[in-house]
Structure 1
């Protein structure tokens, strides 16, 4: 877990991130988590342009740390600048996709095979269900004809699965061309339902074709998602821009990434300031709204139950000769609740969100940076007193990005003592 925030006014954008990281491993068949407090999540993306980047979610892209991609891109970019922040984003993801030195074509292919391997057991389980069993091991007693019938039913289910909008039929075709031959060659030695009975070998091509379709269609469900936040200015932009991307990693040779339009923001001369949290957001949302999100949801649900009970009691007390039907009562309750929630939202916006935005637009940059840091500290405090994991903790990095001053560190941790390493800073210069 992590907690990050972007606070954007017409003057600048402030980025802040904690340093907690979670390492998950399997030990004796059980999931074991370890927590560390020195991860870097906030980076300067360009040495010349006023652009910063934060990551949350997965710290690596298919085993390659994001830090390597970010710093390598910064070196490759050099002093080049672009007119729009969007171009920095496009160039960065293009660099990630085509940098075979960091993640080679062989590594991408191995990652694809790993994806198929993970999907193999899930698919065999579906075949077992269609064969009337609850365990893949029990398929050993089935005849080849029974297995073929179960595969035919599973093929229908796989065809019905929707291909996510981010993916295309070409992704399936490329995966087939990359892996089908190899999978068919090893299936009888590595896939349980074919190890159980060599007489089923003629079904291998159908299984492999179905497996690849199944794995690709479920790719987004099992990918290690990384949120990538890119903020700052292009040369032709005078107000800050915030772009947020969901990166799912490589599917074969293609990097699957999508811009998150809901969280991406662009400032102009008329817009209010923006407070945009990422990852763990509970306490920051409470600060923005004046009420915690879970309490809001609880009141929302309890209101429905209370209105339903009140409607039934009123009809009973009045001795209604033709009481309202349950369907009509439910419609009235929903209309009343929606009106109530709209009024509540108006109060939240008018008493908390809008005044806060107006104040932020007037804040000096040191105060904006202090606010960002305080909100991350508040989230960290909440985690520390309510959970044993402390999944939001560690030193907080804070940077301010403005049009003319560029990327400026306000708080930055080092894994070494700066006073003992003057040559490090000379090299950076």
Structure 2
């Protein structure tokens, strides 16, 4: 987990990120988590342009730490500048997709093979349940004709599964072409379904075809997602902008990305406070009420109104009481009006005043606000959970049109006064 924030006014954008990272491993069949407090999540994306980048979620792509392609891209573009901020993420992800040294063809193919292999357990479990079993081990005693019929039903279910809008039929075709022969050759000795009974080997081609489709269609559900936040200015931008992407990794040769609606500032735009990853305390600060408690309150209010309606009808002894359906309609209408009043009060008393104040804040105060909100999130995590998955030093940077990318707080894994050569190299 992590906590990050972007605060954007007409003058500048402030980025802040904690330093916690979680490493998960397995020991004796049990999942173990370790927490470290030195991860870099905030970067300067260009030496000559006022652009910064933050990452949250997975710390790596295809086993490669994000820090490597980010810094390699920064060196590659050198003094180049783009007119609009939106071009920077476009060029960055193009660079990542086509960087053969960091992400070789062999690495991508191996990742695809592992993706399909990981789906084999899910497909076998699906087949087991269609035979009336609870687990893959239950397939051991099933005759070939029952397994064949269960595979047919699993194939039909997979065909009915929707294909996410980020994916297409070409992804299935490419994955099939790259892995079909290799996986079919190994399935007899790797897949439990076929190890149990060699008579089932005739089903391997069908099994592998269904397996590839299942793996691709469920790719986003099991991918290691990384959020990528890019903020700052293009050469022709006079107000800051914020671009957010979800990166799901490589599916074959293609980098799967989802771009969220951009936040663009202009002379009349309200200020932006945009948290990422762990957001509970920041949302509470913005709204004046904890989001989870607000949702609980709305839910309990709905139940109370529903109960009150029934009690009123019973007490009055109505000659023709309302039907349950009509009572539900009235309660839903009143509850919606009640919720709208709450939302309006939250906007008028908390969100809008805070936005107006941010536009007037000096840059040091904007940076202090961003850092304080991350510290608040970290404090909440530290006193309520044993994990401290939001913690460590907080990196803060201010990005403005003419001053560029300026570090306000930045951790080093070394003592700066002992390493003057590091800063000379950076210059």
Task: Work out which of the residue numbers 339, 357, 366 in structure 1 matches 2:355.
Answer: 357
Task: Provide the residue aligned with 1:90 in structure 2.
Answer: 90
* Alignment of structure 1 residues 48-197 onto 2, 5 Å: 48-197=48-197
Query: Counterpart of 2:199 in 1: which secondary structure?
Result: helix
Determine the C-alpha separation between the residues in 1 that align with 2:76 and 2:214.
Answer: 38
Moved over 2 A (4+): none
Match of 1:6 in 2: 6
Aligned-pair distance for 1:154?
0.6
- Which structure 2 residues correspond to residues 381-392 of structure 1 after superposition, within 5 A? 381-392=379-390
Partner of 1:311: 309
Equivalents in 1 of 2:391, 2:200: separation in Å?
54
**Aligned: 1:228 with 2:228:** yes
Provide the C-alpha distance between the structure 2 equivalents of 1:72 and 1:224, rounded to a whole number of angstroms: 22
Pairing 1:321–2:301 present: no
The correspondence of residues 326-341 of structure 1 with structure 2, limited to 5 A, is: 326-341=324-339
The equivalent of 1:375 in structure 2 is 373
Question: In 2, distance between residues paired with 1:413 and 1:353?
Answer: 32
Paired residues in the alignment total 427
Gaps of 5+ in 2: none
What is the correspondence of 1:216-295 to structure 2 with a 5 Å cutoff? 216-261=216-261, 264-295=262-293
- 1:138 shift after superposition: 2.1
TM-score by length of 1: 0.99
d(CA) in 2 for partners of 1:218, 1:14 = 36
Task: Please give the alpha-carbon distance, in whole angstroms, between the structure 2 residues aligned to 1:351 and 1:143.
Answer: 68
TM-score normalized by structure 2? 0.99
- Report the Cα offset of residue 360 of structure 1: 0.2
SS state of the match for residue 229, structure 1?
strand
What is the deviation of 1:316?
1.6
- How far the C-alpha of 1:309 sits from its partner, in A, is 1.3
Structure 1: distance between partners of 2:192 and 2:404: 58
Q: Where do 5+ consecutive residues of structure 1 fail to align?
A: none
Three-state SS of the structure 2 residue aligned to 1:52 is strand
Q: 3-state SS of the aligned residue for 1:85? A: coil
1:64-91 C-alpha deviation (Å, 9 max, x unpaired): 0000010010011100000011110100
